[in-house]
Amino acid sequence: MTKRALITGITGQDGSYLAEFLLTQGYEVIGMVRRSSTVNFERIEHIQAQVTLATADLLDEVSLINLLREYQPHEVYNLAAQSFVQTSFSQPVFTGEVTALGVTRILDAIRIVNPEMRFYQASSSEMFGKVVEVPQTEQTPFYPRSPYGVAKVYGHWITVNYRESYNMFACSGILFNHESPRRGLEFVTRKISHAVARIKLGLDQELRLGNLEARRDWGFAPDYVRAMWLMLQQNEPDDYVVATGETRSVREFVEFAFSHVGLNYQDYVVQDERYMRPAEVDLLVGDPTKARTELGWQPEVTFEGLVKIMVDADVAMLKERLR
């Protein structure tokens, strides 16, 4: 029997990699997209012929019910969200509507249409925020530091609640930062790799950044989508931390990215108050022991490998554009 998976957020970084991965596993893939005045399918252009795109929105419950009724997926991966922390400070209510209540809408739609569908929720290490222990595990209490983090805590607990209340196969992956050449340009890693490439090619002279001392546990997005799928193949639903176990500062990322193309970051980086946050998450580092032992998951790309992949991809992309 061919398995059918619905991915919300298929046009995003993770959605595009998950769609690719599920296609290689023989799945029929349905991608939920929202209406926009311009098409934004860049990340899935290369697989568009192999997936079915259907319109619905996490803000609109009826659209979700109709979508599930029509396609009857066996697995639902809820990756859609307002996912940028900085924007959550300027649009906290909107972030709550999509990133928090959106989870209840889709869980409820599943409960109404067919509670046998397996569900994956994209939880986040941002929920640990001002961390109360190091490293962070599935047992570490949450202390979110942004409207986005607060919304993700809601999404996490409503997923637990539907599992316990309605016996649904609902899992959360508590994923630490994961990056790739498909990362949005507003996130710090891609902002850096793109700027390094532009500076190297003589298209820019400086890179303006906020807090260089923040530390993150950075992995490679294609490694992380495998973990999502593994969670839904287990006998019992559960929650898992997905991380590398290594923490690096934004400064280290910048330094390594510039040095990879033979430049010194201190000649180009300018600190700019505009990119500072009202409340910061200073240190994240996950303990992926449970994912390793129970799912057999482990990351394949190192921090240095990730930086190189991203910088090389941006240099190649810009060179191609300049031809």
Per CB under 6 A, residues contacting ligand GDD are: 83, 85-86, 124-126, 176-177, 186-189, 191, 209-211, 214, 216, 250, 275, 277, 280-281, 284
Which lies closer to ligand GDD via its Cβ, residue 4 or residue 191?
191
Residue in 4, 13, 170, 194 binding ligand NAP, rule: CB under 6 A:
13
Residue 170 C-alpha from the chain's centroid: 18
Per annotation, catalytic residue among 148, 154, 224, 265: 148
Q: Does 58 bind ligand NAP (CB under 6 A)?
A: yes
- Round to whole Å and give the CA distance between 122 and 182: 18
In b/e form, how buried is each residue of 118-134, taking b as 16+ CB within 10 angstroms?
Answer: bbbbbbbbbbbbebeee
Residue 132 in contact with residue 143, Cβ under 8 Å?
yes
- Kindly state the smallest distance separating residue 278's Cβ from ligand GDD, in Å: 11
| 13, interface contact from ligand GDD, ligand NAP, none, CB < 5-8 Å by kind | ligand NAP
- Round to whole Å and give the CA distance between 111 and 89: 32
Which lies closer to ligand GDD via its Cβ, residue 166 or residue 275?
275
| 248, interface contact from ligand NAP, ligand GDD, none, CB < 5-8 Å by kind | none
Residue 158 C-alpha from the chain's centroid: 19
143 is catalytic: no
Residue 130 in contact with residue 87, Cβ under 8 Å?
no
Torsion of CA 267, 270, 271, 275, to 10 degrees: -130
Phi-psi region of 245 (alpha: psi -120 to 50; beta: other; left: phi over 0): left
- Kindly state the smallest distance separating residue 211's Cβ from ligand GDD, in Å: 4
Q: Does 226 bind ligand NAP (CB under 6 A)?
A: no
Per annotation, catalytic residue among 61, 126, 179, 255: 126
Q: Is the dihedral of CA 198, 309, 51, 68 positive or negative?
A: negative
124 is catalytic: yes
| 144, interface contact from ligand GDD, ligand NAP, none, CB < 5-8 Å by kind | none
Q: Which of 48, 39, 54, 40 is nearest to 19 (CA)?
A: 48
Which lies closer to ligand GDD via its Cβ, residue 22 or residue 85?
85
148 is catalytic: yes
Distant-in-sequence, close-in-space partners of 126: CB < 8 Å, separation ≥ 6: 85, 144, 145, 146, 148, 149, 152, 281
Which lies closer to ligand NAP via its Cβ, residue 80 or residue 311?
80
Contact positions vs ligand NAP (CB under 6 A): 8-9, 11-15, 34, 36, 40, 57-59, 79-83, 98, 122, 124, 175, 177-178, 184
Q: Which are the catalytic amino acids?
A: 124, 126, 148
